[in-house]
A and B are shown apart, each in its own frame.
Chain A
Amino acid sequence: DAGVIQSPRHEVTEMGQEVTLRCKPISGHDYLFWYRQTMMRGLELLIYFNNNVPIDDSGMPEDRFSAKMPNASFSTLKIQPSEPRDSAVYFCASTETGSSYNEQFFGPGTRLTVL
């Protein structure tokens, strides 16, 4: 398996632009998580899905952020409009229930820079 796939790996955009980050979880995993990592705030959970349904979006910072999971193999995190304080590394992770472990497998991350 290729693991969790994220695209793009790097994104540089200007303030006010729309940004879309993409994630493909590991096949068969039924949970998908979006995290944001910054020096100041560490690794924060933004939202997570179970069987494509959002379960907890309490970590989404504000209405500028939205996430969707239209099917089991694809999710997007959208920021509109983007602001410089959104600059961070965004990780997607997935896991499966029914196994003995809750290990979350992380993707390589998307480094977002908003100018």
Chain B
Amino acid sequence: GENVEQHPSTLSVQEGDSAVIKCTYSDSASNYFPWYKQELGKRPQLIIDIRSNVGEKKDQRIAVTLNKTAKHFSLHITETQPEDSAVYFCAANPQGAQKLVFGQGTRLTINP
């Protein structure tokens, strides 16, 4: 089945710097790659997603890139702010189905 690997598991950056989180997936039939943000004690919420027919997508300070050949995708956060501190999860949909397989998560800490 689909395996989604995410790294790093923890990431600490200075406020204003950029943060990059990377994920790899195993099922070449996956065609949807969302990123979720989970604040402490809260539910996961979608922040950005990308489909396999697109190489890059940007939304203000957040961008996601996808390399289908290498089967990896990345989340980029620029000009980080304290409210970006959270756990971030990547995911992929095996066999192009509706279900998602999640990575293990990255705990991002923004230092003032």
On A, residues with C-beta under 8 Å from B are 31, 33, 42-45, 48, 50, 55-56, 91, 95, 97, 101-104, 106-109
Contact = CB atoms under 8 A, between A and B. Distances in A.
B101 interface: yes
A102 B34 contact: yes
Contact of B43 (A42, A44, A103, A109): A109
Interface string B86-112: 000100010001111111110000000
A45 B43 contact: no
Contact of B99 (A56, A91, A107): A56
Contact of A31 (B49, B89, B98): B98
25 contacts: A31-B98, A42-B89, A42-B105, A43-B44, A43-B89, A45-B100, A45-B101, A45-B102, A48-B98, A48-B99, A50-B98, A55-B99, A91-B43, A102-B32, A102-B93, A102-B100, A103-B34, A103-B46, A103-B49, A104-B34, A104-B46, A106-B44, A106-B45, A108-B42, A108-B43
Which DSSP category, helix, strand, loop or mixed, fits chain A's interface?
A: strand
Interface of B: 32, 34, 42-46, 49, 89, 93, 97-105
B104 A42 contact: yes
Contacts of A109: 43
Nearest to A97: B98
A91 B45 CA distance: 12
Contacts of B97: 56
Contacts of A104: 34, 46, 100
Given A45-B101, A48-B98, A106-B45, 5 more contacts: A56-B97, A91-B43, A95-B98, A106-B43, A108-B43
Identify the 7 closest CB pairs spanning chains A and B, nearest first: A106-B43, A43-B102, A42-B104, A103-B46, A102-B32, A106-B44, A31-B98
B49 A45 contact: no
Contacts of B32: 102
A112 B97 CA distance: 29
